[in-house]
């Protein structure tokens, strides 16, 4: 495919541009959705006079969103892997790659691990614990309940850090 003329990357093909567009769309969906959950949905549901209704509402919202987030994350990993040779020479040692690329990849790996831990272990356990009377909770269970929402926020912070690394990568 022929290169598309661009003053920033004269060798970029139309396929590269489409892949970048898919990558940015998936990132926008993921981060925008996380911001919506954190800044709109959670505060709104906390105002619900019926905590069990609010919990059900949030769980339903989060489950639907989680499926779409994992699809967006898969698109980000796939398009990112395809676009990676635009930023590094894959034939050289990782030690020769730009530092910002290594940081971005490390953050992506950390995001995947934290997201998997949250979605598969911590959030389901926290939902179960919220149904128990507070007097029956162990100290460890109370700690889990307290820190579980913070893990969701950590994924948002990791996503924002990845976005910042992407800006550094494209502007350096």
In the chain, where the domains are located: 1-86, 91-172
3-state secondary structure of 97: coil
Name the nearest CA neighbour of 41 among 23, 55, 20, 24.
55
Using 50, 70 and 90 to split pLDDT, how confident is the model at 104? very high
3-state secondary structure of 91: coil
**pLDDT (average), residues 72-91:** 93
CA angle 105, 110, 111 (to 5 degrees): 95
Give CA 109 to chain center in angstroms: 10
pLDDT digits (tens, 9 = 90+) for 123-151: 889 888 988 898 889 999 999 988 888 88
3-state secondary structure of 4: coil
Listed in sequence order, the residues at least 6 apart from 103 whose beta carbon sits closer than 8 Å to its beta carbon are 165
The model's pTM is 0.82
| 34, 62 contact by CB (below 8 A) | no
């Amino acid at each position: 495919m022929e290169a598309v003329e661009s003053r920033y990357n004269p060798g970029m093909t139309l396929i590269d541009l489409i892949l970048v567009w898919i990558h940015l769309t998936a990132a926008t969906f993921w981060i925008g959705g996380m911001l919506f959950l954190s800044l709109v949905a959670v505060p709104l549901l906390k105002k619900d006079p019926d905590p069990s209704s609010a919990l059900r509402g949030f769980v339903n919202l989060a489950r639907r969103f989680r499926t779409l987030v994992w699809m967006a994350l898969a698109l980000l990993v796939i398009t990112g892997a395809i676009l990676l040779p635009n930023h590094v020479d894959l034939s050289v040692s990782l030690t020769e790659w730009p530092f910002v690329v290594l940081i971005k990849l490390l953050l992506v790996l950390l995001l995947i691990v934290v997201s998997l831990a949250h979605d598969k272990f911590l959030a389901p356990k926290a939902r179960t614990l919220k149904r128990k009377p507070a007097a029956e909770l162990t100290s460890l269970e109370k700690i889990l309940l307290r820190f579980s929402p913070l893990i969701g926020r950590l994924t948002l912070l990791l996503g924002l850090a990845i976005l910042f690394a992407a800006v550094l990568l494209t502007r350096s």
